Amino acid sequence: MSAPWDGAAIAGIGQTEFSQNSGRSERRLAVEAITTALADAGLTANDVDGLVTFDFDSNDPASVADTMGLRQLTFFSETMYGGGGGCSTIMQAAMAVASGSAEVVVAYRAMNERSGVRFGQARVSKRAIPAVIALSAPYGLHTAAQGFSLNIARYFHEHDVTNADVAPLAVAQRAYAATNPAARFFGRPITIDDHQSSRWIVEPVLRLYDCCLESDGAVAIVVTSADRARHLRNAPVAVRAAAQGLAGQQMRNWYRPSIGSVEETRVAGDRLWAASGLGPSDMQVAILYDHFLPMVLMQLEALGFCKPGEAKHFIADGNRTVAINTNGGLTGEAYLHGMNWITEAVRQLRGTAANQVRDVEHVLVTSGPGVPTSALVLARSERQT
Amino acid sequence: MSGEPVARSADVTVTADSDTAFYWDGTSQERLLAQRCGSCQRMWHPPGPVCPHCQCLEWSIDELSRQGTIYSVAKVHEPGSPIQGTHYLVALVEQADPQRPDESVRLACNIRGGDLSDCPIGAPVSLVFEPLAGDYRLPQFEVRK
């Protein structure tokens, strides 16, 4: 396989506060995050020639460009499949830079998902169910939690896992959130009992404390060439490898041979390891998408951190060789569909995280499993003064 | 609390398209139908224009068994559904290909006739149909206690 990629790096990150009601428009949130990220990189709007965001975002690149007065973009894109698309934004930005299609690409995500349209609510037209969901909606399979529950239930059955086995992970992530000032649950850790007595969302797989937050806020990330990033304000964070992963449907992944595993994450991970020449044991931190905590266990197995069925032991107290979800996660910090994932990875590699791990060289970041997904290996790199 | 069917599906219609029309037409006769590949002879579900095993575009239609086995199951507490209410069982039921018993297809459904403790993975279930508005009917499965 080819040598680890060294074409692009993350030069700046920015975000708004995360809240339950931002009190301002998503477009304004996007611009705030983008402006902050550019300032962090030591760049300005005039330097930007690329924009990339996810679908399920109301601010397409043209609206943002027009709002900010950006008039010369040579790369613009939206990545697919909602929460599976976060790492894809960095992948596409890095590809644009490496191919010479753009020099400074900003990836962004802005949503009032708590005060605005909420993904966790089931909305169905009662008159005519469209053909594409005719085999799920009539059965009350509307939301991600309802749909993924069938995958998680199968995983639990195949490997003798119960919801109680997930509790140590919830406690560990809320402990990280408790010491992260940006987190919704700053100052509010939980115990195993708190987790196990939280109410069922879908029994016997998902309790309230297994499910991610709904948040208002925005995140932006500036990607440029590795060479340029070395001469900007921060230690660059190199995009060492990037991949997407598609191994079936989105959200209704019930028909492929194995549904009790996150095959899409495995596909992406296999490509990351092959492309980078690295493996799970080279990662000091793993930021694994936790829209639903049981799927963190499934990702640990799919990525090769442990064998199938072993994740419940891997996450048990004191049994971890890699720090997981050090900002508190989507369940503890905020839910910006994984973009606040990538910023945490950047902070860990720069040495500026609230829960800083020692000697971080490589961080793995994943986007949403259960849908076509994406993942990154980010690496520490040096500035040139 | 047992999973009482809310039967709000009678208020709802489903839209069939050119790929799924045969399936929904079958439900109007209370038959559960699936495609069989003209080349590799394997069945598939959900309905689609091409065999997902070998990509062949030629296929015929066969009827699935009226018995199945629970492959995965869970009970939705919240946020619930405008169609199924709250505290309902969602499941995947596995049905063997009548001609090739080592192979199977899976259908998403609700389970009627019992609560979660009556419906472990592996439990046998039987096909039933519930009303929809219009001619189509909604395949469901019920557990035998």
Task: Please give the pLDDT value at position A326.
Answer: 93
Task: Please give the pLDDT value at position A321.
Answer: 84
DSSP H/E element including A350: helix A339-350
- Report the b/e string of B105-135 with b at 16+ CB within 10 A: bbbbbbbbbbebeebebebebbbbbbebeee
pLDDT band at A205 (very low <50, low <70, confident <90, very high): very high
Chain A residues close to B105, C-beta within 8 Å: 255
User: Catalytic amino acids of A?
Assistant: 289, 335
**In the predicted model, is pLDDT for residue A318 greater than 70?**
no
pTM of the model: 0.92
Quickly tell me which residue has 């032991």 as its tokens.
A313
> Helix A294-302 and helix A144-159: axis angle, to 10°?
60
Chain A residues close to B106, C-beta within 8 Å: 254-255
The CA distance from A15 to A326, in Å, is: 17
Asked if residues A105 and A93 have their Cβ atoms less than 8 Å apart, the reply is yes
**Across A306-330, average pLDDT:** 87
User: What percent of chain B lies above the pLDDT cut of 90?
Assistant: 82
The CA-CA-CA angle for residues A136, A141, A145, to 5°, reads 140
**In the predicted model, is pLDDT for residue A23 greater than 70?**
yes
Of the partner residues B78, B110, B116, the one whose CB lies closest to the CB of residue A139: B110
Lowest mean pLDDT among A226-230, A289-293, A313-317, B41-45: A313-317
**In the predicted model, is pLDDT for residue A133 greater than 70?**
yes
Quickly tell me which residue has 């709250």 as its tokens.
B86
Tokens found for residue B44: 């598939």
Lowest mean pLDDT among A175-179, A180-184, A232-236, A328-332: A328-332
* Nearest CA-CA distance, residue B11 and chain A, Å: 7
**In the predicted model, is pLDDT for residue B92 greater than 90?**
yes
Task: Please give the pLDDT value at position A222.
Answer: 98
**In the predicted model, is pLDDT for residue A119 greater than 80?**
no
Of the partner residues A134, A203, A252, the one whose CB lies closest to the CB of residue B74: A203
Cβ–Cβ gap A202/B75 under 8 Å = yes
pLDDT band at A261 (very low <50, low <70, confident <90, very high): very high
- Which ipTM value was assigned to this complex? 0.93
The CA distance from A215 to A219, in Å, is: 12
Mutation site for A-interface testing, chosen from B9, B19, B78, B142 by largest number of A Cβ within 10 Å: B78
* Nearest CA-CA distance, residue B36 and chain A, Å: 16
Write out pLDDT tens, residues A168-188.
Answer: 999 999 999 999 998 889 999
Of the partner residues A130, A203, A259, the one whose CB lies closest to the CB of residue B116: A203
| Mean pLDDT rounded to a whole number for chain A | 91
Please list, in sequence order, all residues whose beta carbon lies within 8 angstroms of the beta carbon of residue A99, skipping any fewer than 6 positions away: none
- For residue A119, give the chain B residue with the closest CA: B79
Cβ–Cβ gap B72/A154 under 8 Å = yes
Tokens found for residue A57: 């975002």
Write out pLDDT tens, residues A357-375.
Answer: 999 999 999 999 999 999 9
Quickly tell me which residue has 């896992």 as its tokens.
A161
DSSP one-letter code for A208:
G
Write out pLDDT tens, residues B130-140.
Answer: 999 989 999 99
* Nearest CA-CA distance, residue B81 and chain A, Å: 5
User: What percent of chain A lies above the pLDDT cut of 90?
Assistant: 75
Of the partner residues A129, A135, A204, the one whose CB lies closest to the CB of residue B12: A129
Chain A residues whose C-beta is within 8 A of a chain B C-beta are 120-122, 124, 126-131, 134-143, 146, 149-154, 157, 199-205, 252, 254-255, 259-260
Task: Please give the pLDDT value at position A374.
Answer: 95
Asked if residues A104 and A50 have their Cβ atoms less than 8 Å apart, the reply is yes
